[in-house]
Structure 1
Amino acid sequence: MKLLVCVKQVPDMESRFKPNGQGTWFEEADLAWRMNEYDEYAVEQAVQLREQLGDAAELTVLSIGPDRVVEAIKKALAMGCDKAVHVVDDAVAGKDPWQIAAIITAHAKGVGYDLIFTGMQSQDRGSAQVGGTVAEELGYACATTLVGFTYDNGTITAKRELEGGIKGVARLATPALVTCQLGLNTPRYPTLPNIMKAKKKEILSIPVADLLTVDPLAVTASFHPPAKKGCGVILEGDVGPMVDQLLGILKEKTAVLR
C-alpha cells in the first residue's frame, strides 16, 4: 500500500512579522521555521498506519518550497516516514491553493498513492483548500477535519469534527485523502536514534517546473500591518472627579449623553 503525507514548513507563530519590501508577503529573513502544526497530526496518523500495515505499506512525505523545507522533511522522516519528495520551489509563497494542489496532484498521479494525509490547513495562510482540491483532481474519496481514524482492509472510518462540536462519522474506500487536525492524536517526538536513521533515508528533489508549468499569480502589494489606533486614556484620582471626567470624554468623543 502506497501512503503519502504532505507537510508544509511555516514560520513559528511567536515570530515578529513584518511586510517584505514588495508588500506581497512577510519578510522571511531571521524567522524561525517549523512544521505546520496540523501537518504533524497528519504525519503521526500516517506513521501509525504504516506501523499497523508493516512491510505491506510504504510511506512517503512530500513538501514544496526552498531548500529550508528539508528540515521539516527530515523531522517527518525521523517520525517514521520511509522516504521523501522535495519539490524545489523558491517562489512557493506566490502560489495560490489551486497551484499547490496541482503540484501535489501531478506527483501523485505518477505514483498512484492509495491514501494521502494532509493537515486541515496551514497556519500561515489558513485556506483549508489544498487537501480537498487534491482529492477532487485525483477523483479520490475525501474526509476533512478528522479527529478519529481507523483503517481495516481498504476501508477508512473517519470521525470528523463539524460545526457546533458535532462529531460525524464517514466511511471511505481507498483510494482516499483525509485532512487531519487537533484532537486526532498526539504527535511523537523524534528520538535521537530515529533522527540518525533519517539521515540515511532517500530525499528525492524535483524541480517545480517538472510538475507545474503555470506561472504564479501576480500578487500586488497587499500585505501590511494593521493600522495603528490611538491609545486608551487612564483616569486616576478620586471617584467623583473621575466620573465627571469620564462623562466629559463621552460627550466629546461619542453621541452618548447628547
Structure 2
Amino acid sequence: MPEGHTLHRLAAAYLSAFGGESVHVSSPQGPFAAGALRLDRRPLTAAEAHGKHLFLGFGEAGWIHVHLGLYGKVRFGEGPAPAPVGQLRLRLANDDHYADLRGPTTCELLNDAAKRAVQRRLGPDPLRPGDTGDAAWERISRSGTTVAALLMDQKVLSGVGNIYRAEVLFRQGLDPHLPGRGLSRAEWDALWADLVALMATGVRDGWIDTVRPEHMPEAMGRPARDDAHGGEVYVYRRAQLPCLVCGHPVSAETHGGRNLFWCARCQPPR
C-alpha cells in the first residue's frame, strides 16, 4: 500500500496538470459514473492529501475522495487521452494531460461536511502544514499497545506505512515492542520530527531513503540496495542481513498482520 508521501505527490501532480482548468471527468468502468457526470467540465480547484487519502476538489460540486488501498494506481500521461482499456475507475483529462485511476479501495464524491468527517477519523499527518504530533501523543502516551502497532494505526497517525514505521523506529533506537505509554515525551517529539523530515524527503524524491550519509553504499563500500521500492533503508526487508550499523542480523516477525523488521542490538528491549 502506498505510504503518505506518495499521496502528497499525487495531489501535487493532479494540481499541476489540471488545477484551475475545466476538466473532463469520466468513469469508463462505470462505478463512479454518477459522480463523474456531476463534475464533468468543472474546474479542479484543490487537491490535497491527508495520510493515505487523496481529495480532489471541484468547488461547490464537491470532492473526489480516493483511497488507493493495496491495488490502486494512478497513471499520468501527456497529450489527448487514449481510448480507455480495462478496469478504469476514474479519468481526468484536458487537452494536454490525462490521469487514470485503477483499482482503488475508495473512489466517491463527498460534500464538504462528509470530507471533514473522513478527516476527523484520521490522526495528524507529518506532511500536512499545521499538523503537530500532540494529538497522536495524547493517544500513544496512554496506550498499552506496542509503538509499532500504534504507528500504523491511521486513527493515531496518518500516512505512516510499513517502511517508515520500521525505519523511524530503527533511527530512533526504539524497540518496536515497547508499549506506547513506555515512550517519553522527548522520545516521541524526536520520532515525530524524524518522520516529518523523512517523509518530506520522500515527497521531494519520489522514493523512500532513510539511511544517513555515513551508512550509504558509497561511504561503506557496499552494494546499493536492489529492490523495487528503491531507496536505501536500514532494516525494511533486510531480515537476517547484517545491520548496517552494528552487524547483528536484522530480525523479522509478523506483527499485527504486517511484516516488522528491527535490529535487536540497536533497538534493545527495556
Question: TM (normalized to structure 2)?
Answer: 0.25
Looking at secondary structure, tell me which structure has more strand per residue: 1
Structure of higher CA gyration radius? 1
Higher relative contact order (CA 8 A, sep 6+): 1
